[in-house]
Amino acid sequence: MLRPPYQSYDRLYVYHLDKADILAFDDPDLIGIWIEDETAVLFFHRAKDSLVAELCARHGCNLIYQADLDYCDWEAGLFISSFTVGGVTVSPVWEKGRADIRLDPSVIFGSGFHPTTRVCLETVIHYMQTPEAAIKTMLDLGTGTGLLSIAAARFGAEKITAVDNNPLACAVARANCRLNQVNEQVDIREMDLRKDKLHTSGYNLIVANLYRGLLEQLIQTPSFWEGGIYILSGFLQSMEADLLAELPAGQIRFLDRKQSDRWCIWVLGNRKVIG
Ligand SMILES: C[S@@+](CC[C@H](N)C(=O)[O-])C[C@H]1O[C@@H](n2cnc3c(N)ncnc32)[C@H](O)[C@@H]1O
């Protein structure tokens, strides 16, 4: 996350350690730490070889790899700037000018530059603006930067639960919600969807921009199907047939299908809830 004096990202210095439980430490150049499958990925604005060597010695861990790259290369060579989807302008915090949503994308998925984020955003905005859908509650599975939740709150969702298993994503999403003054509506929880029990009952809209394996697991869990409308994304066209076969037969109504590049987005209605 950006902290003074930093107001934007230039280069990223990345250190991947083979241990997750690094004792809390602070450094003025620290962007954040990802904890992933018993490993830790440290991101800094500047090179920190000696600090990382000291951390490794203190915690008895090893450096798996290190890299330094331009921030835009983290985003697949794209320079993050303002964009407009469904009439909503999203700007990174370092850009001045009018914006409906301001975002610190940090090193978290959900800057808006991936096709799935854009189409999910467009779809969330569409359903929020559809009076018959009457969306008041939303569950955002794998919230990343929190962008989809912020957009739903902007359009009047009263209660949004946003979850992510990446602690840095949760911290970034919380900061972005505060920045956009929707922190009262959005409750961000650290949760691993592979293990933790998920309650979908009472949510009008459920957004899950994840990846195939996790989507399959969710789709096959009967309690996943207690919400109203589902926006599922994060899978390629080539995976559609397999996922389709796993949907609970008879219970799901296809409301829409979109595609951007090879990425697909499904909008599904749960007949048990929306008829
Ligand atoms: C493709 S990104 C989507 C981010 C954002 N919702 C968007 O649409 O741009 C998927 C997010 O899911 C999170 N995630 C991955 N596996 C997860 C799990 N097992 N439990 C919870 N969140 C998970 C990742 O950390 C990441 O932030």
Give the pLDDT of residue 235.
96
pLDDT band (50, 70, 90) for residue 215? very high
Average pLDDT, rounded, for the chain? 95
CA of 53 from ligand 1 middle (Å) equals 30
Q: Please enumerate in sequence order all residues whose Cβ is within 8 A of that of 223, keeping only pairs 6 or more positions apart, or say none.
A: 197, 198, 199, 200
Per-residue pLDDT tens digits for 90-136: 999 999 999 999 999 999 999 988 999 999 999 999 999 999 999 99
Substitution candidate for ligand 1 out of 210, 212, 258, 263 with most atoms within 8 A of CB: 210
Q: Which domains does the chain have, with CATH numbers?
A: 11-74 (3.30.70), 83-274 (3.40.50.150)
Give the pLDDT of residue 76.
76
CA of 71 from ligand 1 middle (Å) equals 20
CA of 161 from ligand 1 middle (Å) equals 14
Task: Enter the tokens of residue 240.
Answer: 């559609």
Only one residue has tokens 């450094």, namely 27
pLDDT band (50, 70, 90) for residue 181? very high
Substitution candidate for ligand 1 out of 36, 37, 83, 109 with most atoms within 8 A of CB: 109
Ligand 1 atom nearest to CA at 169: 27
Per-residue pLDDT tens digits for 131-148: 999 999 999 999 999 999
Give the pLDDT of residue 20.
87
Contact in structure between 91 and 147 (CB atoms under 8 Å): no
Angle, alpha carbons 146-149-152 (nearest 5°): 150
Pocket of ligand 1 (CB under 6 A): 109-110, 116-117, 120, 142-144, 148, 163-166, 169, 191-194, 209-210, 214, 234
Percentage with pLDDT > 70 across the chain: 100
CA of 54 from ligand 1 middle (Å) equals 31
Give the pLDDT of residue 26.
85
Q: What is the pTM of this model?
A: 0.96
In the sheet that 186-190 helps form, which strands lie side by side, from edge to edge?
186-190, 159-164, 137-141, 205-209, 229-236, 263-270, 252-260
CA of 57 from ligand 1 middle (Å) equals 32
Q: Across residues 194-205, what is the average pLDDT?
A: 95
Backbone angles phi, psi at 101, to 5 degrees: -135, 130
**Partners of 233 in the β-ladder:** 209, 265
